[in-house]
């Protein structure tokens, strides 16, 4: 199959670094432009020393390099790792250039700018004006395992918390197994806060520490409710309490629910396994999952426990892979008519 040129936009952070790592082994996608305004001319290996073995000489480029790819036959894959509030405006300009050149540009945006259904909903959650409101209808926000077909245009990949929690809750909603509210406690690693340390995310503050933040008012809860609301019936209330964990990679989410009828652990696990039977990256068992089972992979591991009408569902993912870069590649594979597992059949880090 013909190679697909790839642009990674906003290439200086953790998610971009993870995209560059995963793309180095992709059978079809080929990096043509790692765009970073602050690092233009710098070698990728200098910014990400762990990638020196796969990108030893390649450098970051300016956004001008994207124009040279617009006369390519076939699709151009663009991954946006730009910050929330900046991505929409910049993507709008690049998409306008692609449309003018009649280029077939496919975009997967990893910011939050196109996750909510319209600009008004986005402004309500983020408290500022949207950068490209007219582009909102051309982006679909979804998790691959819960969307059987590829969107016709572009994808807004859900956040990492949203991915872990929605995958944990989806069978409960779709199969009518539980009644809301869904009570969620989730812990994320420090890489979820980005590469620039702040007072609360700096390693000395997080090491040996655990704390909740923005309980019941976190901005990812509306994403969870929106995605779960597509599975049948009204959107369930998600009472979400996120926590900062003392580790670097991964998310562990625990969901407490009241079941619609009594079940035991084995029957609930069977229902989950049947629901995800065709999902290559979701595994289900009747035992609690551990982060080290999934760190470094695009997998989600779900464990369940039930007694009577009480149930607990536990979900673990790597926030940088399944929750960001890996999930984005999974979507781009679909957008480009590739097998969604291409480049993502990864062994875990084990002791990383």
CA distance 51 to 25: 12
Question: Could you tell me where the beta strands, DSSP code E, fall in 247-350?
Answer: 251-259, 282-285, 300-307, 310-317
From 81, 136, 141, 160, the catalytic residue: 160
**Residue 300 catalytic?**
no
Q: Hey, how many other C-beta atoms are within 10 angstroms of the C-beta on 293?
A: 16
Specify the residue for token string 């007694």.
307
Closest CA to 154 of 222, 68, 95: 95
On the 0-12 / 13-18 / 19+ scale of CB atoms within 10 A, 273 is middle
The DSSP element (H or E) to which 206 belongs, if any, is: helix 203-206
CA distance 233 to 93: 38
3-state secondary structure of 303: strand
CA distance 242 to 214: 7
3-state secondary structure of 109: strand
Closest CA to 118 of 106, 130, 104: 130
Tell me the catalytic residues.
160
């Amino acid at each position: 199959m013909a190679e697909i040129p790839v642009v990674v936009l906003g290439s200086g952070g953790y998610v971009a670094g993870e995209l560059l790592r995963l793309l180095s082994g992709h059978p079809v996608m080929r990096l043509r432009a790692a765009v970073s305004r602050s690092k233009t001319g710098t070698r990728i290996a200098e910014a990400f020393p762990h990638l020196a073995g796969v990108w030893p000489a390649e450098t970051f480029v300016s956004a001008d390099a994207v124009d040279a790819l617009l006369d390519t036959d076939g699709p151009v894959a663009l991954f946006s790792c730009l910050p929330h509030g900046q991505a929409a405006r910049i993507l709008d300009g690049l998409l306008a250039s692609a449309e003018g050149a009649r280029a077939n540009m496919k975009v997967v945006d990893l910011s939050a700018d196109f996750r909510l259904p319209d600009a008004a909903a986005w402004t309500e959650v983020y408290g500022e004006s949207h950068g490209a409101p007219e582009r909102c209808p051309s982006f679909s926000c979804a998790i691959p395992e819960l969307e059987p077909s590829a969107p016709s245009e572009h994808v807004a990949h859900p956040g990492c918390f949203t991915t872990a929690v929605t995958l944990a809750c989806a069978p409960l909603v779709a199969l009518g197994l539980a009644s809301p509210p869904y009570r969620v406690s989730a812990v994320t690693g420090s890489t979820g806060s980005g590469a620039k340390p702040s007072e609360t995310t700096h390693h000395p503050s997080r090491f040996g520490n655990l704390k909740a933040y923005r309980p019941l008012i976190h901005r990812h809860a509306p994403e969870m409710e929106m995605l779960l609301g597509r599975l049948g019936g009204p959107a369930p209330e998600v009472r979400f309490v996120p926590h900062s964990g003392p580790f670097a990679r991964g998310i562990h989410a625990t969901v407490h629910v009241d079941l619609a009828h009594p079940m035991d652990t084995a029957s609930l696990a069977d229902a989950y396994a049947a629901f995800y039977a065709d999902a290559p990256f979701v595994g289900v068992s009747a035992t609690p999952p551990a982060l080290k089972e999934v760190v470094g992979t695009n997998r989600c591991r779900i464990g369940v426990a039930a007694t009577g009408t009480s149930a607990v569902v536990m979900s673990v993912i790597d926030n940088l892979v399944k929750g960001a870069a890996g999930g984005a590649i999974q979507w781009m594979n679909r957008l480009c008519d590739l097998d969604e597992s291409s480049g993502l059949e990864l062994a875990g880090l084990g002791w990383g």
